[in-house]
Amino acid sequence: HLSFGMRGFFGGMLSDLNTRVDIILLGYFVSDASVGIYSFAAVFAEGFGQISYVVKQNLDPIIGRFTAAKSINQLRSLMRKVALVFVPSILALSIVSALLFPVMVRLFTDDRFLESWPIFTVLLAGIVINAGFRPFQGVFLLTGRPGLHSLFFLIVVLSNAILNVLFIQRMGIMGAVVATSLAYVIESLLILYGIRKILVVKGDGS
């Protein structure tokens, strides 16, 4: 149990680090003013991304029951419901949020923060792409593979960091936006890989 917990804890620590990689690296390559503009958008985008995390927290016990019972058909049905209900909902909400963003900035802050509008919009695009997969982010832990859970986050963090270094040097602040959005895509692909290679295999063996 201690070994399981430690390996899972490492994954959680990397998950927290992943939300700060872009800002940390931006601080090294660009001015404080640019970091401030980016951070303003990133804070709201990250808050928006927490919707998927809340869904994940609610689905984890259900996914755990399905995987323990090797109820793969029920798990597939759950995935379809997420794709058909949650993803369109978060897409619609993201469009409304992107349209309202400049209005809210003008109402409550300085107009200079309008520069963060395209940043917020592109980050939202990455979050929407990720929305159908993040609710299943706990797939490795829920199938008793804490080591793979930590490896998953290690790959995500390293990919995020490498992409940010490469793109920030070439595109500045927008490089961080593109890199972070691509990191969301990589995370989604890794979760999909986990679902296919672990859960489907469980179903075949039942």
Instruction: Look at residue 206 in the predicted model and tell me its pLDDT.
Output: 45
| DSSP conformation letters of 71-121 | -HHHHHHHHHHIIIIIHHHHHHHHHHHHHHHHHHHHHHS-GGGGGGHHHHH
Q: Radius of gyration (Cα) for the chain, nearest Å?
A: 18
Instruction: Look at residue 92 in the predicted model and tell me its pLDDT.
Output: 96
Nearest of 53, 119, 58, 131 to residue 93 by alpha carbon? 131
Instruction: Look at residue 97 in the predicted model and tell me its pLDDT.
Output: 95
How many helices (H) does the chain have, and how many strands (E)? 10, 0
pLDDT (tens digit, 0 to 9) for every residue of the chain, 206 residues total?
445 455 555 666 777 778 889 999 999 999 999 999 999 999 999 988 899 999 999 999 998 888 777 777 888 888 889 889 999 999 999 999 999 999 999 988 888 889 999 999 999 999 999 999 999 988 888 887 888 888 888 999 999 999 999 999 999 999 999 999 999 999 999 998 888 877 655 555 44
Nearest of 19, 8, 38, 6 to residue 187 by alpha carbon? 19
Reading phi first (left if > 0) and then psi (alpha if -120 to 50, else beta), residue 58 is in alpha
Range of the domain at 181: 2-205
| DSSP conformation letters of 11-37 | HHHHHHHHTTHHHHHHHHHS-HHHHHH
Q: Which residues contact 77 (CB under 8 A, 6 or more apart)?
A: none
Split into its structural domains, the chain has a count of 1
